[in-house]
Amino acid sequence: MTKEALNKSDLIQRIALKNPHLAEPLVEEAVKIMIDQMIETLSNDDRIEIRGFGSFALHHREPRVGRNPKTGKAVQVAAKSVPHFKPGKALRDTVNEIGN
């Protein structure tokens, strides 16, 4: 059984359906603003915490020597920051109840 992902437009539609007093373009703008704020916050190396849902932070990876899987040749991999999500207890508990 293949599960489908919830994309941004699906999320906007669901929020608009559950809140008929809000016009869909307004919901779309609100979702866009929220995502933009999250990106800006992480870009400033700040942490995002949403109680009951989880937290987002950056994990910093040092530069390293990697390998090209095709040739085996050593390749220099630059340092980078990678977004990381840690689910909150309420989210973990809910997902585990539904999944079992």
Of 34, 36, 53, give the one whose Cα is nearest residue 95: 53
Nearest Cα to Cα of residue 54 among 96, 83, 82, 86: 86
Give a yes or no: residue 49 inside a domain: yes
With 0.75 as the threshold, say if the pTM is over it.
yes
CATH code, domain with 59: 4.10.520.10
Q: Which ranges of 1-100 would DSSP assign to H, the alpha helix? A: 8-18, 24-43, 89-99
For residue 3, being part of any structural domain is answered with no
**Would you say residue 19 lies in a domain?**
yes
Per-residue pLDDT of the chain (100 residues; tens, 9 = 90+): 568 899 999 999 999 999 999 999 999 999 999 999 999 999 999 999 999 999 999 999 999 999 999 999 999 999 999 999 999 999 999 999 886 6
Tally of domains within the chain: 1
For the chain, helix, strand, coil in percent to 5 are: 40, 25, 30
> Where in the sequence is the domain holding 56, given as residue range(s)?
8-99
